[in-house]
Amino acid sequence: MNIESQDLYTQIILSMAALVGLTSFLMLGQGRLLRLIFVFAVQGFLLTLTTALAAYSLDNHHLYISAVLTLALKVIFIPWMLRREVLNSNLHRDVEALGNQTAIMLGGASLMVFSYYVLHPIVQTTSPVMLNALAVSLSVVLLGMLLMISHKQAIAHVVGFMSIENGLFFAAIVATKGMPMVVELGIAFDVLVAAVLFGIFFFHIRTSIDSLDVDLLNKLHEVDK
């Protein structure tokens, strides 16, 4: 696949895919919560741009609505809520000591290769561009999981959770030009409710264990409590 032989829209989509993938890696190695949230907001903004671009080039009006929803939820509301939480619980000075940085980054890179490997069969029936877009989306999903595994703070977990959601959203936009309207509204509603619930949970976790370190949530065992 020669990138210069593609049309402009495809070229931009591919660049966006690369940038979205990059933001996931940036989040993975980030120990400071405020920066993590900032990178997350950037990723949301990239998604908004991609959606708006898809809406413009396909002349599809409901994608504009999705773009606005993404902007409102993923760039403004959720980062604002998380930021406030970090400041309230005085976590902005802490740098989380991440375990083995090198191993995590290498793990992330292998997840990306793995995504390409998993989705490779579809290349027979579709363009290599689609393979790239879908593989990047899947790796954003998997990197989100790795983020949750490697970080201990509940807030980082929420960022991981939401960035998984971002990966899925990117797949939906690029591969299928967005989901049907009713589904997309439903997903946006679920994300909103989930964000509010996370806010409630931060409060509960802090009052119950006096910290947001989820490693301290370890009371439930398989045997012998």
Partner 1 sequence: MIPAYLLLSIAFVGIVFFAVSGHKAEIGKINVWFNAGSLIASIWLAINVLNNGTILSADKAFLIDSFNVYLIVLTAFIGLTTSIFSNPYMEHEKDLGKLTAKRLKLYYSMYQGFMLAMYLVLTTNNMGVMWVGMEAATLATVLLVSLYRTPESIEAAWKYFILCGVGIAQALFGTILLYYAAMQIGDGENALLWSELFKNASQLNPEVLEIAFVFLLIGYGTKIGLVPLHNWLPDAHSEGPTPMSAVLSGLLLNDALYAVVRNKMLVDGATHSDMAGHLMMGFGLLSFLVGALFLHRQKDIKRLFSYSSIEHMGLMTFAFGIGGSLATFAALLHMMVHSLTKSAIFVTVGHATQVAGTQRMDKIRGLIKTQPKIGWGLLIGTISIAGFPPFGVFTSEFLVLLATMHSYPWLTLPLLLGIGIAFAGLFRHIQPMVYGAKPEGQQAVKANLLPVMIHLALVLWLGLAIPSFLAHWFSQATVLIAGGSPL
Interface ranges with partner 1 (CB under 8 A): 118-119, 121-122, 124-126, 134, 137-138, 141, 144-145, 148, 154, 157, 161, 164-165, 167-168, 171-172, 175-177, 179-183, 186-187, 189-190, 193-194, 197-198, 200-201, 204-205, 208-209, 214, 217-220, 222-225
Cβ-based nearer residue to partner 1, 2 or 220 = 220
Q: Exposed, middle or buried: residue 225 (CB in 10 Å: 0-12, 13-18, 19+)?
A: exposed
Q: How far is the CB of 93 from partner 1 (least distance, A)?
A: 25
Decide: 99 and 150 in contact? Cβ < 8 Å: yes
**3-class secondary structure for 137-187?**
HHHHHHHHHHHHHHCCEHHHHHHHHHHHHHHHHHHHHHHHCCCCHHHHHHH
Query: Which residues have CB under 8 Å from 81's CB, separation 6+?
Result: 195, 198, 199
Cβ-based nearer residue to partner 1, 14 or 164 = 164
Cβ-based nearer residue to partner 1, 4 or 215 = 215
Q: How far is the CB of 144 from partner 1 (least distance, A)?
A: 8
Cβ-based nearer residue to partner 1, 80 or 189 = 189
